[in-house]
């Protein structure tokens, strides 16, 4: 069945994607982002000269995905410091730009703390700005390392759960190099399987309404020459029913202390489908995504996005017209329900894969133990 749906696989560019970088031209330091709202049509860079520009880039999803939001937030603090803006104001604005992915505030607070520690130690503003930048760079490096370790743990788990190889994996949203200092979270596991010749097919949910699956995951899969097939989100049920899915691999924006997982809206229905069809539902995320201060799923703030993202098609390839900048696909004035994320309860999650190891079964106690272990390292 799968082969008749295969992509042409024509995009064979190098797999590394420069998702963000710090530069210091004579006019002053900048954070350069690959504008993800324009992919896959164009690879356009967005230059952030101060924190408000970065806040807008985060809100518009020019930069998105939990781990890289943390990295971008940390660089944003460094940018404010290096350009002499109020660091605490910038940190507050950056941390609040999107509410669900906890990595964003973790990254911001880390650079902010480094800045204040340097000041308190008697360093001047320049030295403190250097400390914030060093913290951002360190987080960037750590995320790349975490990504590689998650890929290793995740592939070992897949091989254990699905002996015989030839994995057919369904994924949702986008979790590859575009969201990471390395090769990503869930996508990095699929990529590791592909490199070992053990990925038979990557099923890519298109991920309405902003099409992160179609625009971004398919882009990354093509660049890596993976066997992938795109499906509409509502086709997932029939794919499970046809016995074509061996495992679901997704990322996370926040994991509550009890193991509840907030991720892109549409993840929870996949968990329900996976349970019904006895298919493992695996979450891959760095330890920084686990938020001990959020006790359970009900306490996770789910971002609500503007209705026009649902009532209009805003994909970058489409010429613009409607009130939100896209082509209307519903009568004018139609109200839309548009949560950016949903929450999957821990009992539907087979395993959480982190850089420190795998939690399965998913319980608050096991997660707390893993986080304590990671703090000791």
Q: Is 66 annotated as a binding residue?
A: yes
Separation between Cα atoms, residue 55 and residue 10, nearest integer Å? 35
Told to judge if 296 belongs to the known catalytic residues of this protein, a careful annotator would answer: no
Nearest distance from C-beta of residue 84 to ligand MRU, angstroms: 30
Binding site for ligand MRU (CB under 6 A): 61, 64-67, 101, 173, 175, 179, 184-185, 212, 251-253, 263-264, 340
Q: Are 279 and 246 in contact (CB under 8 A)?
A: yes
Nearest 5°: CA angle at 294, between 115 and 182? 55
List, as own/partner pairs, every contact residues 368-375 make where C-beta atoms lie below 8 angstroms and the sequence separation is at least 24, other chains included.
368/257, 368/292, 370/287, 370/290, 371/287, 371/290, 371/292, 374/287
Catalytic one among 50, 205, 253, 291?
Answer: 253
Nearest distance from C-beta of residue 216 to ligand MRU, angstroms: 8
Q: Is 168 annotated as a binding residue?
A: no
Separation between Cα atoms, residue 218 and residue 203, nearest integer Å? 10
Q: Which is nearer to ligand MRU, 114 or 208 (CB)?
A: 208
Q: Is 84 annotated as a binding residue?
A: no
Q: Which is nearer to ligand MRU, 175 or 311 (CB)?
A: 175
Nearest distance from C-beta of residue 129 to ligand MRU, angstroms: 28
Q: Which is nearer to ligand MRU, 263 or 338 (CB)?
A: 263
Question: In the chain, where does DSSP find H-type helix?
Answer: 51-59, 66-82, 87-95, 102-120, 125-161, 186-195, 218-223, 236-241, 267-276, 308-311, 364-376
Separation between Cα atoms, residue 272 and residue 279, nearest integer Å? 10
Residue 283: strand pairing partners? 250, 352
Q: Which is nearer to ligand MRU, 201 or 305 (CB)?
A: 305
Q: Which residue is nearest to ligand MRU (CB)?
A: 251
Nearest distance from C-beta of residue 297 to ligand MRU, angstroms: 15
Residue by residue, DSSP assigns 263-279 as: EETTHHHHHHHHHHTT-
Q: Is 137 annotated as a binding residue?
A: no
The 3-state DSSP composition of the chain as helix, strand, coil percent (nearest 5) reads 45, 15, 40
Which residues make Cβ contacts (< 8 Å) with residue 113, sequence separation at least 6?
Answer: 135
Q: Which is nearer to ligand MRU, 132 or 178 (CB)?
A: 178
Tokens representing 1 are 């069945």
List, as own/partner pairs, every contact residues 317-326 make where C-beta atoms lie below 8 angstroms and the sequence separation is at least 24, other chains included.
317/41
Q: Is 376 annotated as a binding residue?
A: no
Nearest distance from C-beta of residue 188 to ligand MRU, angstroms: 9
Nearest distance from C-beta of residue 300 to ligand MRU, angstroms: 13
Q: Are 311 and 329 in contact (CB under 8 A)?
A: yes
Q: Are 63 and 72 in contact (CB under 8 A)?
A: yes
Count CB-CB contacts under 10 A for residue 88.
Answer: 13
Residue 304: strand pairing partners? 339
Q: Is 259 annotated as a binding residue?
A: no
Q: Is 98 annotated as a binding residue?
A: yes
Q: Which is nearer to ligand MRU, 65 or 73 (CB)?
A: 65
Binding site for substrate: what residues are annotated? 64-66, 98, 212, 263-264
Catalytic residues: 253
Binding site: what residues are annotated? 64-66, 98, 212, 263-264
């Amino acid at each position: 069945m799968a082969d008749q749906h295969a992509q042409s696989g024509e995009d064979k560019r190098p797999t590394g994607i420069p998702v963000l970088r710090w530069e210091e031209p004579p006019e002053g330091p900048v954070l350069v982002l690959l504008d993800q709202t324009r992919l896959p049509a164009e690879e356009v860079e967005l230059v952030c000269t101060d924190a408000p520009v970065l806040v807008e880039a985060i809100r518009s999803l020019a930069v998105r995905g939990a781990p890289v939001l943390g990295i971008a937030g940390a660089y944003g603090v460094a940018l404010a410091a290096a350009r002499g803006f109020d660091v605490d104001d910038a940190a507050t604005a950056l941390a609040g730009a999107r509410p669900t992915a906890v990595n964003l505030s973790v990254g911001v607070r880390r650079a902010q703390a480094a800045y204040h520690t340097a000041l308190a130690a008697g360093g001047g503003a320049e030295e403190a700005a250097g400390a914030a930048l060093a913290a951002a760079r360190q987080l960037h490096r750590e995320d790349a390392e975490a990504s590689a370790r998650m890929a290793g743990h995740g592939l070992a788990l897949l091989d254990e759960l699905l002996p015989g190889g030839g994995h057919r994996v369904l994924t949702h949203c986008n979790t590859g190099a575009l969201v990471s200092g390395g090769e990503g979270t869930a996508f990095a596991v699929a990529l590791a399987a592909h490199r070992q010749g053990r990925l038979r097919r990557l099923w890519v949910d298109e991920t309405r309404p902003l099409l992160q699956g179609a625009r971004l995951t398919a882009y990354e899969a093509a660049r890596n020459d993976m066997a992938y097939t795109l499906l509409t989100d509502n086709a997932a049920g029939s794919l499970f029913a046809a016995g074509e899915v061996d495992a679901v691999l997704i990322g996370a924006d926040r994991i509550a202390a009890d193991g509840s997982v907030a991720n892109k809206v549409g993840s929870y229905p996949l968990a329900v489908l996976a349970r019904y069809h006895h298919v493992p539902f695996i979450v891959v995320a760095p330890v920084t995504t686990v938020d001990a201060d959020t006790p359970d799923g009900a306490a996770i703030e789910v971002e609500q996005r503007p209705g026009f993202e649902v009532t209009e098609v805003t994909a970058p390839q489409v010429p613009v017209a409607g009130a939100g900048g896209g082509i209307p696909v519903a009568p004018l004035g139609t109200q839309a329900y548009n949560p950016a994320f949903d929450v999957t309860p821990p009992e539907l999650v087979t395993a959480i894969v982190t850089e420190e190891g795998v939690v399965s079964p998913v319980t608050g106690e096991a997660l707390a133990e893993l986080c304590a272990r990671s703090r000791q390292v």
